[in-house]
Amino acid sequence: MPRVTVIGTGYLGLTHAVCLADLGHEVLAIDVDADKIAKAARGETPFFEPGLEPLLRKNLDAGRLRFTLSFAEAGAFGDVHFLCVGTPEGESGRADLSSVYGAAGMLAPYLTSPCLVVGKSTVPVGTARQVMNRIRAIAPAGEAADLAWNPEFLREGFAVQDSLAPDRIVLGVTSGRAEARLRQVYRAPLEAGTPLLVMDLETAELVKVAANAFLATKISFINAMAEVCEEAGADVIPLAEALGYDARIGRRFLSPGLGYGGGCLPKDIRAFRATAADLGVDSLVSLLSTVDVINLRRRDRVVELARQAAGGTLAGVQVAVLGVAFKPNSDDVRDSPSLAVCAQLATEGAMVSVHDPVAMPSAARKRPGLRYAPSVSEAAEGADLVLHLTEWSDYRAIDPAALARVVARRVIIDARCCLDADLWRHWTVHVLGRP
Ligand SMILES: NC(=O)c1ccc[n+]([C@@H]2O[C@H](COP(=O)([O-])OP(=O)(O)OC[C@H]3O[C@@H](n4cnc5c(N)ncnc54)[C@H](O)[C@@H]3O)[C@@H](O)[C@H]2O)c1
C-alpha cells in the first residue's frame, strides 16, 4: 500500500489524514502551524467536527497516523502526497493560491524518487497544470514526480462520513500510473461501490467549482423566491415544499433562509466568477454575481426586520442571537451570515448577546466585542428581540414558554425558517419569506 502524506491539517486536511489512516494507510500529516501539529499529535482537533476526535485518537494509538512540521520528512516518507492547504479569497474575489504554490515549492526539493502529488484544494481551472510544472522544475525526481487533482466534496458537520463513504471520487490525471496509484489509495470506498470518475486535470478542477456554483445558485434561487413572497404576501415554505416534490428539482438545498456562508461557497463563487471573467464567459459572471448579491441581501433583510420589530431603530435594543456558526454541527464562523448580522446590529447600537452550542470560542476570536452567553436563557435574559440565525437542532427543542419567562418581549425572527409555528404561537414570530 502506498504511504501517504497530507499537507495542510485544516478542516479538509486533518479529516482526510484521519480517514485515510482509518482506511488502513500509513499517514504522515504536515502543516506550517506548529500549534495545530502539536495539538493534533496529542489527539486534539483544533475545530469541532462530529466523530473526528475519537477517530484521530484511535489512529494515533494504532500508530498509523503521525504529524510533523518537516517537509524533508514528508518527502522521504510519502509515495502519495495530498495537497490540502487553504485557498482563501484574495484580491477582487480571486482565489489566493499562495499556500498551494508555497506548499508545492516546500515539498518539491524533497521529491527524490517516483511519487504522486495529489491536489485536493479547490482551485481555479489551470492551477493543477501550473503546480505540476513548478514541482517538476524543482523536484530531483523531475518527470517522475507525477500530479493528479482529486477535488474534495466533504461537508463540514458530516466530514467523517463524507470522507469514509464519499458519493463519488473524481480524479483528474495525466497518466495511467497516477490513476492506478489513486485506485490503491481509495481501494476501500471503490470496493464499497463508490462511483469513480476519471478525467483530465482541467475538468476535475472545474467539477468542484461547478458543483459549488450549482448549490449556491439553488440556495439563492429559493431565497429570491422568498423575496418575491415577501413582496407578494405569499409563503415561501409551502412554495419550496411543492417545488421539491418535482424529482427534477429535488428538496435538498431548497431551504429558504439566511443564505450560505462558511469557508467554501462564498469564496468559491467569487473565485469562479473571476475565472469566468478571465475566460470571457460573461453570462456566468453575471449569474454568479447575482447569486452572491441575493445571498448577501438576506443578511440585510434580517437586520431590516429586526429594526422594524424594534420600532424603527436598533439603538439600545437588547437582542439575543441564537447560533453563530455558519451552519449547524460546526464551529466554523468563516463568512458566517449570523456573525455578519451580529456585526451590523452592533453597529446600529443594539446590545447583542450571542449563544451557540459550540462556535462561541471561534466567534469570540473573530468578534471579541459581542457578549457571549453560556446558555440560551442567559443570552435571552431581558431581550427585546430574539434572532434564530443557525438551525442547530437544540434550538428546535427550546420551550417557548420557558424562554418567555426571561425575555422582555416575546418577539422572535426565525431567519432559518424551521421553528414550529404552532409551538411558538404565543410569540410574535417573523419568518423570512412568510407573510
Ligand atoms: N472546509 C471544507 O469543508 C472544504 C470542503 C471541500 C474543499 N475544501 C477546500 O480545501 C482547501 C482547504 O480548506 P480548509 O477549510 O481545510 O482550510 P483551512 O484554512 O482550515 O486549512 C488550511 C491549512 O493549510 C495550512 N497551510 C497553509 N500553508 C501551508 C503550507 N505551505 N504547508 C503546509 N500547510 C499549510 C494552514 O496552516 C491550515 O492548517 C480549500 O481549498 C477549500 O476550499 C474545503
Instruction: Please report the pLDDT score of residue 1 as a whole number.
Output: 86
- Atom index in ligand 1 nearest the CA of residue 85 equals 24
- Atom index in ligand 1 nearest the CA of residue 14 equals 16
- Atom index in ligand 1 nearest the CA of residue 13 equals 16
The answer to whether 392 and 414 have CB atoms below 8 angstroms apart is: no
Instruction: Give helix 98-107 / helix 127-138 axis angle, nearest 10°.
Output: 30
Cα 377 versus chain centre, distance: 29
The residue behind cell 474534495 is 152
Residue 234's alpha-carbon distances to 100, 168, 237, 257, 433, in angstroms, are 47, 38, 9, 15, 8
The secondary element (H helix, E strand) that includes residue 361 is helix 360-366
Please choose from 6, 12, 30, 208 the residue to mutate so as to test ligand 1's pocket, defined by most ligand atoms within 8 A of CB.
12
Residues 413-428 have pLDDT tens digits of: 999 999 999 999 999 9
Please state, in angstroms and rounded to a whole number, the distance separating the CA atoms of residues 238 and 230: 14
Please state, in angstroms and rounded to a whole number, the distance separating the CA atoms of residues 164 and 187: 11
How many whole angstroms from 277 Cα to the centroid of ligand 1? 25
Say if strands 27-30 and 115-119 run parallel, antiparallel, or are unpaired: unpaired
Q: In a 10 Å sphere around its CB, with 0-12 CB exposed, 13-18 middle and 19+ buried, how is residue 79 labelled? A: middle
How many whole angstroms from 15 Cα to the centroid of ligand 1? 11
Instruction: Give helix 265-279 / helix 201-232 axis angle, nearest 10°.
Output: 110
Amino acid at 341: V
Count other Cβ atoms within 10 Å, centred on residue 18: 33
DSSP reduced 3-state for 302 = helix
The answer to whether 81 and 147 have CB atoms below 8 angstroms apart is: no
**Residue nearest to ligand 1 atom 38, measured at CA:** 10
- Atom index in ligand 1 nearest the CA of residue 155 equals 3
Say if strands 65-68 and 318-322 run parallel, antiparallel, or are unpaired: unpaired
Residues 192-219 have pLDDT tens digits of: 999 999 999 999 999 999 999 999 999 9
Q: What is the pTM of this model?
A: 0.96
**CA neighbours closer than 13 Å in the CB half-sphere of residue 347:** 9
**Residue nearest to ligand 1 atom 15, measured at CA:** 11
DSSP-assigned states of every residue in 224-241: HHHHHHHHHT--HHHHHH
Write b or e for each residue in 246-265: b if 16 or more Cβ atoms lie within 10 A of its Cβ, otherwise e.
Answer: eeeeeeeebbbbbbbbbbbb
The end-to-end CA distance of the chain, in Å, is 59
Please state, in angstroms and rounded to a whole number, the distance separating the CA atoms of residues 404 and 402: 5
How many whole angstroms from 8 Cα to the centroid of ligand 1? 6
Residues with CB under 6 A from ligand 1: 7-13, 30-33, 36, 84-87, 99, 102-103, 106, 121-122, 152, 154, 156, 263-264
Instruction: Please report the pLDDT score of residue 256 as a whole number.
Output: 96
Total H helices, total E strands in the chain: 18, 14
Residues 90-133 have pLDDT tens digits of: 999 999 999 999 999 999 999 999 999 999 999 999 999 999 99
How many whole angstroms from 398 Cα to the centroid of ligand 1? 35
How many whole angstroms from 147 Cα to the centroid of ligand 1? 19
The radius of gyration computed from the CA coordinates of the chain, to the nearest angstrom, equals: 23
- Catalogue the active-site residues: 264
Amino acid at 232: A
Amino acid at 100: V
- Atom index in ligand 1 nearest the CA of residue 9 equals 39
How many whole angstroms from 6 Cα to the centroid of ligand 1? 11
Set of cell numbers at residue 77: 516518507
Please choose from 6, 264, 336 the residue to mutate so as to test ligand 1's pocket, defined by most ligand atoms within 8 A of CB.
264
What order of strands is seen across the sheet that includes strand 428-431? 371-372, 351-355, 318-322, 385-388, 411-414, 428-431
Q: Is the dihedral of CA 241, 243, 248, 253 positive or negative?
A: negative
Contacts (Cβ under 8 Å, ≥6 apart) of 176:
none
Q: Is the dihedral of CA 252, 154, 265, 212 positive or negative?
A: negative
Please state, in angstroms and rounded to a whole number, the distance separating the CA atoms of residues 57 and 61: 6
- List for the chain the helix, strand, coil content (%; round to 5): 45, 15, 40
The secondary element (H helix, E strand) that includes residue 164 is helix 159-164
pLDDT by residue, tens only, the chain of 435 residues: 899 999 999 999 999 999 999 999 999 999 999 999 999 999 999 999 999 999 999 999 999 999 999 999 999 999 999 999 999 999 999 999 999 999 999 999 999 999 999 999 999 999 999 999 999 999 999 999 999 999 999 999 999 999 999 999 999 999 999 999 999 999 999 999 999 999 999 999 999 999 999 999 999 999 999 999 999 999 999 999 999 999 999 999 999 999 999 999 999 999 999 999 999 999 999 999 999 999 999 999 999 999 999 999 999 999 999 999 999 999 999 999 999 999 999 999 999 999 999 999 999 999 998 999 999 999 999 999 999 999 999 999 999 999 999 999 999 999 999 999 999 999 999 999 998
